[in-house]
Amino acid sequence: MPGENYFFTWSIVLFAGACYVGKRLWQQYQGRRTAATVAALLEANNQQYDEWLAEYNAYYKSLPPHMRQRFLERVVAFILSKEIRCVNLPAEERMPLLIGAAAVQISFGLDKYLLDYFDTIYVMQHNYNYGVFARPFEGHVNSQGIYLSWDNFLKGYADYTDAENVGIHEMAHALAYVNFMAGANDAQDDAFIGRFYAFSAVARPIFNAMQDGEETMLNSYAASNYNEFWAVAVETFFERSLRMKVYMPDLYQAMCDLLNQDPLLPEKLLEIPVSLV
């Protein structure tokens, strides 16, 4: 009957609308609760967190005070959303903070920065074997989580000029995984995805040339595949910013536009993102 179909259709519409409103209200509640937890943790640990990051993370150390606070808030929100699982090594109190800082460094200019697709970050002591690969791994990302070797992670920040930083490298992979490989998920950032195509218009020809044997200032590992090109370019963007801007200005600007930040600026961000949690 037409009347029954009309009633059924509107029932579905009203039910879908109620679900959407309920989801939004729950997200707002969760956001307020997370913000309160972040504020409480920072109130209790702000000095210690600031000292650790200033010691180990050159990016954080270069920020002005008000941007340090914003960075810290994002790091605490990030680590609250993750389980750090140590594999055959003792946990250290600084681990979650330093690992979270590597992720936030890349996503500092983005609205979606929590990499919510991933619940767990696995930390090994040294290089490790994975799957059928003969070459030991320093880190990798798959659907199960983000994997890092702790000694290589610390080494990457100990020398912040060599463009070799496994923390930045794997968090770059994680950001790409969330947005392009994990399928539809709430962590996807539509604005980032849209800008990535503009980035690739600049980056792809450079990658293709490297595969044909052309040398650039990027590590030759970038020619392995486009996913590795992306991660190596991100490492270089942060650790050799001035050199990249001089020798690869188009790629540098494309990365600035994509990540909404310029590491050579004191405050880093080109525009202030709306979201915190």
Boundaries of every domain in the chain: 32-259
- Give pLDDT, residue 34: 73
Task: Say which DSSP state 197 is in.
Answer: H
Distance CA 173, CA 35 (A): 27
Distance CA 228, CA 248 (A): 18
The sheet carrying 120-124 orders its strands as: 83-87, 120-124, 145-149, 139-142
* Amino acid in position 220: S
- Give pLDDT, residue 96: 97
pLDDT for 122 beyond 80: yes
Give the torsion sign (CA, 86, 90, 238, 41): positive
pLDDT for 31 beyond 60: no
Which of the residue ranges 13-17, 55-59, 90-94 would you say has the lowest mean pLDDT? 13-17
- Give pLDDT, residue 75: 97
User: What are 79-106's pLDDT values in tens digits?
Assistant: 999 999 999 999 999 999 999 999 999 9
pLDDT for 209 beyond 60: yes
Kindly report the length of the chain: 277
Give the torsion sign (CA, 239, 241, 243, 249): positive
pLDDT for 262 beyond 90: yes
Distance CA 11, CA 17 (A): 10
Cβ atoms of residues 86 and 95 within 8 Å: yes
pLDDT for 126 beyond 50: yes
pLDDT for 17 beyond 50: no
Cβ atoms of residues 72 and 50 within 8 Å: yes
Give Cβ neighbours of residue 193 (< 8 Å, ≥ 6 apart). Answer: 179, 180
The CATH T-level fold of domain 32-259 is: Collagenase (Catalytic Domain) (3.40.390)
The pLDDT > 70 percentage for the chain reads: 87
Query: Which phi and psi (to 5°) does residue 5 adopt?
Result: -60, -40
Which of the residue ranges 23-27, 39-43, 70-74, 135-139 would you say has the lowest mean pLDDT? 23-27
Confidence of residue 252 (pLDDT cuts 50, 70, 90): very high
User: What are 233-247's pLDDT values in tens digits?
Assistant: 999 999 999 999 999
Put residue 276 in one of left, alpha, beta given phi > 0 → left and psi -120 to 50 → alpha.
alpha
> What's the mean pLDDT when you consider all of the chain?
89
Spell out the alpha helix ranges (H) of 57-132. Answer: 58-61, 65-80, 95-107
Confidence of residue 5 (pLDDT cuts 50, 70, 90): low
